[in-house]
Structure 1
Amino acid sequence: MSQLEIKSEHRPNALRSDCTNCFALCCVALPFAASADFAFHKDGGTPCRNLQSDFRCSIHMELREKGCNGCVSYECFGAGQKVSQTIFKGNDWRTAPETASSMYAVFPLVQQLHEMLYYLSDALSRDALRDIHGDLQAVYEEIEQLTELPVDQIVQLDVPIHRVKVNELLLVASERIRSNAVMLRDPARMPKKKAGKGTDLIGANFRNTDIRGMNFRGALLIGADFRQADLRETDMIGADLRAANLNGADLRGSLFLTQAQLNSATGDKTTKIPLSLLRPAHWTSKK
């Protein structure tokens, strides 16, 4: 096994949320407003009213029922434990209040950097992209090094500039993977609607369609019907899947699909998902 393969093998855990090793930073640092996604208003830097002394959520198992769908669909990509345990060396904002403001400022920036690492990791895991693995690896290491900078340097980062560089590579990766998948589509199951970056497909009907290789990048797919649809090798980066119906859909090989996107959608035991992701508990509950 090459050094590249070893690194790729160990990436997923570091880029997956581990709330047990985080100081509930998403529940404190980030603001949210009362809306369809949140049952109440909370200012940034203010602990959520449901946060307990052990940094756990008192309604974690009832977030959807309690009107906190925004919490269900949020993903820190491992930034929470990185900031809590590595950058601030296990000193939490309660026992070391002098660190609070810096911790709250750093967290959303590291979250964005970890999101980029997650997408780059996805591309690095694909054999079809081996000829650009060197470029992907170089950018991955560059972004990873930014997360190791001192706090005062992290807060000065121009994250959008780094995102542009990452996005250029991800676009190449997406086009390569999707173009191969498109040629395998069943013409009899082709959809009438077309997607594209930022496309409004709220409530769209893709039931029982073959949409392999479609570009859903940044698309609004709220409440869309994907029952029994073939979504293999679709680009899901930034797609809004809140309340989308994925019952019986095939999402294997989907590009840049995240756990948070699955959590915000509905599915069932017949939904096929990538091996790196978990089947959300509410998909199989009897409620």
Structure 2
Amino acid sequence: MLNHGTQANREHLHADCQNCFGLCCVALPFSKSADFSKDKEGGTPCSHLQCDFRCSIHENLRGKGYRGCTVYECFGAGQKVSQHTFRGKDWREHPEVAEAMFQTLPIMQQLQEMLWYLTEALTLKVTAAIHDELRRAIEKTEKHTLLEAESILSLDVATHRAEINLLLLETSHLVREETKRKYNMNKIAYPDRGADLIGANLAKRDLKGCNFRGAYLIAANMQSADLRGSDFIGADMRDTDLRGANLSECIFLTQDQLNAANGDIHTKLPSHLIPPMHWTQM
């Protein structure tokens, strides 16, 4: 049985921009594209970043050509680097920490993202057999996030991610098998992990329990599709049409994936996610 009801342990895994020194607006590079109106090098402040570390066009990022900013999710890495790792020293007042701070952000973001997935897995009743393993993985990952900056920069994140991924794969298997039993499905044969579904017409399809891990769903039409019990970890959902789709029991879907997609008031989401602001304009 699925249960997404436990929310308490996820509060620190959401961005808290008021306690961050605008790190994503400085540390990360971007290139002129459909997502950004101009180029910016990593370590260079965005021209719209104000002296109080707030964005001057935050309310109209999409209209100003910064759609990519509305998609990015740090999972709480920004405030953790700002307030814990560097103990409230901002890069403007303390330029000597700037480079290390900017290098730490993407590593912390990966660790926080792992915590998001692990915490979600722990909220599921169907994963009861591996709850102890999930708790140990959360504890280990959390300890990594509390290290000094020098230690964080020397972490073997790839190896740690591989260890975590084994638990996430097991979670996916348990959820999708439970979905088959719950809805009396003989098999789930579509699609394969990492599938190229760019522009695919999947409207109104019964896609319960599918494995969309790493799938390319760019501009895919999933209007009114039944996606309950499906795994969306790492799926590229830029401009995916989710209008009327049922994602209420899917797993490993993140807010940034939704922010990149299109939906409407009829799209059903897991309780821990919210409809993006631009959906209301469609």
TM class by shorter-chain length?
Answer: over 0.9
Cα offset for 1:159?
A: 0.3
> Secondary structure of 2:252's partner?
coil
State the AA in 2 paired with 1:259.
Q
TM-score (structure 2 length as normaliser):
0.93
The CA RMSD measured in Å over matched residues stands at 1.8
Q: 1:268, 1:156 → 2: CA distance?
A: 43
> Secondary structure of 2:171's partner?
helix
Q: 1:20, 1:243 → 2: CA distance?
A: 29
Cα offset for 1:85?
A: 1.1
TM-score (structure 1 length as normaliser):
0.92
Q: Kindly indicate whether the alpha-carbon contact (under 8 Å) linking 1:214 and 1:235 is maintained by their aligned counterparts in 2.
A: yes
**Which deviations, in whole Å up to 9, do the C-alpha atoms of 1:70-111 show, x marking residues without a partner?**
212211110011111111111111111111111011111111
Alignment of 1:1-287 (within 5 A): 9-183=7-181, 194-285=190-281
Q: 2:214, 2:65 → 1: CA distance?
A: 24
* 1:5 corresponding residue in structure 2: none
Change in 2 beyond 3 A, CA 1:166/1:154: same
State the AA in 1 paired with 2:86.
F
Q: 2:191, 2:61 → 1: CA distance?
A: 31
Cα offset for 1:186?
A: 8.4
Q: 1:177, 1:244 → 2: CA distance?
A: 23
Q: 2:190, 2:59 → 1: CA distance?
A: 37
Q: Percent identity?
A: 50
Change in 2 beyond 3 A, CA 1:64/1:186: farther
Cα offset for 1:43?
A: 0.6
Q: Kindly indicate whether the alpha-carbon contact (under 8 Å) linking 1:185 and 1:210 is maintained by their aligned counterparts in 2.
A: no
Q: Unaligned stretches of 5+ in structure 1?
A: 1-7
Q: Unaligned stretches of 5+ in structure 2?
A: 1-5
Which region of structure 1 is more displaced relative to structure 2, 127-136 or 55-64? 55-64
Q: 1:255, 1:274 → 2: CA distance?
A: 8
Which region of structure 1 is more displaced relative to structure 2, 149-158 or 195-204? 195-204
Q: 2:166, 2:119 → 1: CA distance?
A: 15
Q: Kindly indicate whether the alpha-carbon contact (under 8 Å) linking 1:186 and 1:210 is maintained by their aligned counterparts in 2.
A: no
Change in 2 beyond 3 A, CA 1:262/1:17: same
